[in-house]
Structure formats: structure tokens, C-alpha cells
Amino acid sequence: MPIRWSGVAVSEAMDRVEALLEQARPILKQAGEACNEAAQIPDLPQYMQERLVQLNYMITNAIRRPVDSVASVRRDIPASALAAEQERGKQNTLGM
């Protein structure tokens, strides 16, 4: 049964999401490094170190989880429907 939504449009949107995540990656990496530096401050109480470790974990996952979610979205686009839609697009372009 064919899908009613555009697999190509979803795929293109995921391309844009991936590009934006790549732009965010260096900034989030710097934020994680700043957390690590803060955790090394002499005489820092353990509860503060634990919070900084937790924050660094959340920052790390701020890239990993969305990237995994993009991959999940891509897996859920029916390959046959995507190929058929792309083929129709090529035929429309040639027929103009």
C-alpha cells in the first residue's frame, strides 16, 4: 500500500536536521570540555563534581540522541515508496 506522505520531503528534512546538528557539535563539545575543567577545580565538593559529570553526560547526549533519532526516522521511511517517489520526480523533470 503506497504511503500518502512524501518520503522524499521527510528525507530532505532529515538532511537539514543533520546539517544543523553538525553545526552544533563543536559548541556542545566545548561545553562538555568546560564541564570537565570545572570538575577539576581544586577542593570542589563531590556533590558539585557529580552535578558537573551529569551535565557533561546530558551535553554529550544532546548530540547522540538526536542523531540516533534521525537514523530512526530514516529507517521508518519505506524504501520502496521513497524510490518510487524519486523515480516519479525524475520523470516529471524529464517531461517538462
Give CA separation, 30 vs 3, 66, 67, in Å: 42, 18, 18
How does residue 36 score in pLDDT terms, banded at 50, 70 and 90? Answer: very high
First to last CA, the chain: 28
For residues 74 and 87, give the distance between their C-alpha atoms in angstroms, rounded to a whole number: 18
Q: What is the pTM of this model?
A: 0.75
Is residue 14 within 8 A of residue 63, CB to CB? The reply is no
Residue 25 neighbours by CB under 8 Å, 6+ apart: 63
Burial of 50 (C-beta count, 10 Å sphere; 0-12/13-18/19+): exposed
pLDDT by residue (tens digit) across 58-90? 998 888 899 999 999 999 999 888 888 888 876
State residue 95's pLDDT score: 56
